[in-house]
């Protein structure tokens, strides 16, 4: 009986060697035609991830519904006049209103005419940050015109100032 089983195993090995999937399948000393390939759990993980995402979205929507103010029906106009409280006299405080003693705002200065041809941003506050505009190169602290000074070059735009006024100018 064992001779028959050995012959069947040898025939099965020979049959599987005729249809190898890779060269290592039959050239390797560890090749076992009966070894099953490990199953992949990727599909299970994808389904689990999708379930978690759906649960989070549902939770966000549910919390939005809870925090949204409920609309109360308005009573008829006759009821509104009955419920309205009597107007209170306005009391004026005896203390004078605070007065702004700071320098007057400069007259509304128009932003400088800049034809920005490029910028170089290395890091926040870096001395290598540059603005290329109007045929010149500017860095932090340089004057763009008589009034406006370049404060910072950023990723999305530049910050300029004139006196107490600060403005952010996007590149686009």
Which pLDDT score is estimated for 60? 93
Residues 150, 131 contacting (CB under 8 angstroms) = yes
CA dist 18 and 84 (Å) reads: 95
Would 62 be classed as within a structural domain?
no
Number of structural domains in the chain? 1
Would 5 be classed as within a structural domain?
no
Would 34 be classed as within a structural domain?
no
Would 44 be classed as within a structural domain?
no
Which pLDDT score is estimated for 105? 47
Q: Tell me phi and psi for residue 149, to 5 degrees.
A: -120, 140
Domain residues for the domain of 154 are: 116-170
Would 122 be classed as within a structural domain?
yes
Would 164 be classed as within a structural domain?
yes
Q: Is pTM beyond 0.95 here? A: no
Would 157 be classed as within a structural domain?
yes
CA dist 149 and 168 (Å) reads: 12
Which pLDDT score is estimated for 84? 53
Residues of the chain scoring pLDDT < 70: 18-36, 70-107
Would 128 be classed as within a structural domain?
yes
Which pLDDT score is estimated for 18? 66
Q: Tell me phi and psi for residue 132, to 5 degrees.
A: -105, 110
């Amino acid at each position: 009986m064992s001779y028959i089983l050995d012959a069947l195993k040898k025939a099965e090995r020979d049959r599987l060697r005729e249809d190898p999937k890779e060269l290592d399948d039959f050239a390797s000393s560890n090749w076992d035609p009966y070894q099953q390939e490990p199953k992949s759990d990727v599909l299970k993980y994808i389904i689990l991830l999708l379930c978690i995402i759906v649960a989070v979205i549902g939770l966000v929507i549910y919390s939005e519904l809870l925090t949204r103010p409920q609309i109360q029906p308005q009573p008829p106009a006759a009821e509104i006049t009955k419920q309205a409280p009597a107007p209170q006299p306005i009391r004026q405080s005896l203390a004078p209103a605070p007065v702004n003693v700071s320098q007057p705002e400069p007259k509304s200065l128009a932003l400088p005419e800049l034809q920005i041809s490029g910028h170089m941003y290395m890091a926040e506050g870096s001395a290598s940050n540059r603005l290329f505009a109007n045929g010149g190169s500017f860095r932090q602290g340089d004057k763009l015109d008589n009034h406006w000074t370049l404060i910072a070059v950023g990723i999305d735009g530049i910050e300029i100032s004139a006196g107490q006024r600060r403005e952010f100018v996007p590149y686009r």
